[in-house]
Amino acid sequence: MTSTPSSLSPSPGPLAPLILASKSPARTKLLAEAGIPHRIVVSAVDENAITAQHPEASPAEIALLLARSKAEAVASLPEADGALVLGCDSVFEFDGHALGKPYTPDVAVERLRAMSGRAGVLHTGHWLVDCRDGVVSSEGELASAGVEFTEMADDEIAAYVATGEPLHCAGSFTIDGLGGAFLARVDGDPHTVVGLSVSTLRLLLSRAKVRITDFWAPAVVR
């Protein structure tokens, strides 16, 4: 989805802190590298249960639904008062199916063999809940990127799975780690494949009348 942030007036007073409703090291690293100070508060959302409650949802809809569930769960906590809460979740769409984390080596091996030399789409849902001034509002946006894989030999797949890296990654692969060796092409924002599109976050912040550049100031509230 493509949109242009609306014209913004300067943010009044101190900038609200940003809370990331995710324990993903890749997402917090992306935010840090983008100059965005934040806190981490992990939600207790059961991803499998929510997905099971929406059997007709598309992979893209699941990604946005999970992102919203995580953001709103954390936004309901006392520590979110006065903050901006960002929830993200990624789902890999392959052959029309939604692939989340494989969790077990056998599932990861099976998936990677099927994906060898082929392509799919990585969907990352973003949901921002604004808890400032005692008024809660929320906005969501989906970012998607096509991912094409190289041909992978069985021994390469076995070696990759043995590292443990793909077991807790949507689709059983990463772009910013060892799995990057098996990606031939990414069509779209590479940050989407990592799990958080900074340009999409900029769009959501703009809707809340916050400039992403304000986070770069030395006096940001942490």
> In 3D, which of 117, 140, 111, 118 has the Cα closest to residue 128?
140
- Three-class secondary structure of residue 30 per DSSP: helix
Question: Which phi-psi region, left, alpha or beta, contains residue 205 (left: φ > 0; alpha: ψ -120 to 50)?
Answer: alpha
Selected catalytic residue, list 81, 89, 155, 187: 89
Helix H segments across 124-217?
154-162, 190-194, 198-207
Q: In the Cβ-directed half-sphere of 154, how many Cα atoms lie within 13 Å?
A: 2
Query: Which residue carries 């809340």 as its tokens?
Result: 208
Torsion of CA 176, 170, 60, 35, to 10 degrees: -40
**φ/ψ bin of 136: left (φ > 0), alpha (ψ from -120 to 50), beta (otherwise):** beta
Q: Is 89 noted as a catalytic residue in this protein? A: yes
Of 141, 130, 139, 135, nearest to 75 by C-alpha is 130
Q: Which residues are catalytic?
A: 89
